[in-house]
């Protein structure tokens, strides 16, 4: 009996070692093997979107005494800064929207400091839409359906207590108590309300982005949150955000993504109803969502967007975040980026929009101290920052990328990632802004 147990243990050990070796070989091969043989970009019927725009923090910066300049011209307002971007070749403006409706006195949410508490409110979004209408530039709304914020690492459920007509649709229940069907009733109504108010400002929306880095959830059906939709999710640790995409994307598809697709579809349906009620043609309007790629394999990214399509979200564009200097599973993040775009093009037949991109021009510190990874051929200098921005765009234009947004170009707390350098709250342009925009 003892020999039998020893043999069984030995076989199990051999099996584990074999699996580990297979995984290591696949990872190492993926790291360095890159080919475009047999690849063809996804079809795209729109001009390349140069989405350089004021950030969610720009208005607050001006309120706090920030100023900017470009080639001697002084810039003192959100409108003037957005006009600079348009003069540089930007083709759209951007607004990120949480469900929090009004600005409050403190950056506090549920008793904790929240730097996002007062930069994504509905009221602020409407003001940015008015600026877009005045400047006659399309605006790309990012509809988070989270109270103040969501991204790859942080999820919040929406709150609608500041919207009486929407809140009553919850029938006295907490958001975490709602079934998926009950959630979607509210989300559809919210989509219709939000789109109505945005379009009434006179602005044009050609692209709607639902969610922000929605890898792990949307609108309360999210990893780590209590929800009646799937009670398993509350007990899952944050650590699993780094494990599941690599080893168990099927679990994410079964337990989160398929539900999120139906939530996205509900918001989309409400948005399109707003167009119909206002008598505005919606035939060319596109929808997307975007995910972070640092924790995802190219195949997992493609699987995500195909899951959206299979489960009712009629998606037109696959959005991704691409931060070349952030920690990632590939030694060369440019290879990961290219393989991700090509996998989405090939397996989903969708063009890719880079919803967030930036690269440091110097040493990063503080919360982003780990984002100092140097990409081969691109130093962490102004010249390197400008060169990688340009090269990503040029490669993308022939490889199924329909646009790029340089993220938070005017935000000092973004460290060296931005396209302005600051001294005493005064921003002057770096090489990446001075060059001709992609």
What are the tens digits of pLDDT across the range 178-199?
A: 999 999 999 999 999 999 999 9
pTM, whole model, 2 decimals? 0.93
Q: Is the pLDDT of residue 24 over 70?
A: no
pLDDT confidence of residue 31: 67
Give the residue extent of every domain in the chain.
1-33, 44-434
Q: Count helices and strands (H / E) in the chain.
A: 13, 16
What confidence category does residue 246 fall into, taking pLDDT thresholds of 50, 70 and 90? confident
pLDDT tens column, 269-286: 999 999 999 999 999 999
Q: With the C-alpha atoms ordered 361, 362, 367, 370, is the resulting torsion angle positive or negative?
A: positive
Run of H or E including 28: helix 2-32
Q: What is the mean pLDDT of the chain?
A: 93
- What would the mean pLDDT of 168-172 be, rounded to a whole number? 98
Q: Is the pLDDT of residue 5 over 80?
A: no
- What would the mean pLDDT of 71-88 be, rounded to a whole number? 97
What percent of the chain has pLDDT above 90? 86
- E strands within 19-97? 49-50, 67-70, 73-75, 93-97
Q: How far is CA 93 from CA 146, 166, 323, in A?
A: 21, 28, 20
User: 44-434: what fold?
Assistant: TIM Barrel (3.20.20)
What confidence category does residue 35 fall into, taking pLDDT thresholds of 50, 70 and 90? confident
Farthest-apart Cα atoms in the chain, separation: 86
Instruction: Name the residue with higher pLDDT: 26 or 240.
Output: 240
What confidence category does residue 63 fall into, taking pLDDT thresholds of 50, 70 and 90? very high
Residue 152 contacts residue 213 (beta carbons within 8 Å): yes
Q: Is the pLDDT of residue 174 over 90?
A: yes
Choose among 185, 369, 162: nearest CA to 262: 185
What confidence category does residue 12 fall into, taking pLDDT thresholds of 50, 70 and 90? low
What confidence category does residue 328 fall into, taking pLDDT thresholds of 50, 70 and 90? confident
- What would the mean pLDDT of 356-375 be, rounded to a whole number? 93
Residue 217 CA neighbour count, 13 Å, CB half: 26
CA angle 56, 58, 61 (to 5 degrees): 130
d(CA 50, CA 48): 6
How do 420-423 and 49-50 pair as beta strands?
unpaired
- What would the mean pLDDT of 304-325 be, rounded to a whole number? 98
- What would the mean pLDDT of 343-351 be, rounded to a whole number? 97
Q: Is the pLDDT of residue 44 over 60?
A: yes
What phi, psi does 7 have (nearest 5°)? Answer: -65, -40
pLDDT confidence of residue 124: 98
d(CA 140, CA 133): 12
- E strands within 293-411? 317-322, 352-357, 401-406
**What is the total residue count of the chain?**
438
CA angle 159, 162, 163 (to 5 degrees): 90
Residue 203 contacts residue 280 (beta carbons within 8 Å): no
Q: How far is CA 239 from CA 65, 151, 223, 252, 402, in A?
A: 40, 15, 11, 14, 33
Q: Is the pLDDT of residue 8 over 60?
A: no
Choose among 193, 233, 211: nearest CA to 142: 211
d(CA 158, CA 259): 16
pLDDT confidence of residue 430: 98
Cβ atoms within 10 Å of 17's Cβ, excluding its own: 10
What confidence category does residue 13 fall into, taking pLDDT thresholds of 50, 70 and 90? low
β-partners of residue 428 are 421
pLDDT confidence of residue 436: 87
First-to-last C-alpha distance (Å) of the chain = 71
Q: Is the pLDDT of residue 254 over 90?
A: yes
**In the 8-state DSSP scheme, what is residue 175?**
G
């Amino acid at each position: 009996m003892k020999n039998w147990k020893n043999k069984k243990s030995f076989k199990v050990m051999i099996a584990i070692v074999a699996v580990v070796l297979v995984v290591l070989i696949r990872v190492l091969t993926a790291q360095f093997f890159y080919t475009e043989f047999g690849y063809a970009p996804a079809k795209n019927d729109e001009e390349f979107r140069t989405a350089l725009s004021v950030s969610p923090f720009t208005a607050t910066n001006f309120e706090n005494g920030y100023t900017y300049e470009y080639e001697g011209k002084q810039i003192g307002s959100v409108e003037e800064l957005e006009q600079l971007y348009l003069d540089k070749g930007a083709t759209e403006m951007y607004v990120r929207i949480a469900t929090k409706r009004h600005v409050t006195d403190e950056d506090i949410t549920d008793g904790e400091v929240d730097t996002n508490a007062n930069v994504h409110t509905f009221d602020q979004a409407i003001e940015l839409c008015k600026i877009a209408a005045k400047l006659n530039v399309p605006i790309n709304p990012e509809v988070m359906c989270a109270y103040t914020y969501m991204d790859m690492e942080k999820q919040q459920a929406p709150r609608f207590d500041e919207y009486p007509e929407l809140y009553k649709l919850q029938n006295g229940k907490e958001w975490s108590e709602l079934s998926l069907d009950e959630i979607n009733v509210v989300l559809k109504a919210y989509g219709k309300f939000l789109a109505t108010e945005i379009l009434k400002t006179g602005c044009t929306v050609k692209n709607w982005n639902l969610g922000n880095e929605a890898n792990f959830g949307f609108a309360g059906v999210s990893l780590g949150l209590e929800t009646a939709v799937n009670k398993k999710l509350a007990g899952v640790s944050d650590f699993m955000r780094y494990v599941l995409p690599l080893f168990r994307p099927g679990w994410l598809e079964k337990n989160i993504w398929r539900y999120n697709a139906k939530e996205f579809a509900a918001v989309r349906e409400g948005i399109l109803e707003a167009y119909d009620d206002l008598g505005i043609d919606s035939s060319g309007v596109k929808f997307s969502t975007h995910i972070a790629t640092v924790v995802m394999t190219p195949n997992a990214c493609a699987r995500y967007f195909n899951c959206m399509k299979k489960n009712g979200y009629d998606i037109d564009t696959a959005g991704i975040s691409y931060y070349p200097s952030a920690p990632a599973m590939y030694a060369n993040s440019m290879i990961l980026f290219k393989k991700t775009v090509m996998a989405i093009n090939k397996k989903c037949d969708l063009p890719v929009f880079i919803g967030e991109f930036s690269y440091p021009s110097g040493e990063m510190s503080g919360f982003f101290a780990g984002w100092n990874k140097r990409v081969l051929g691109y130093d962490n200098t102004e010249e390197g920052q400008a060169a990688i921005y340009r090269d990503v765009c040029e490669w993308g234009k022939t490889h199924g990328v329909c646009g790029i947004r340089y993220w938070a170009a005017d935000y000092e707390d973004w460290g060296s990632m931005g396209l302005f350098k600051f001294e005493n709250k005064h921003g002057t342009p770096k090489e990446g802004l001075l060059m001709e925009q992609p």
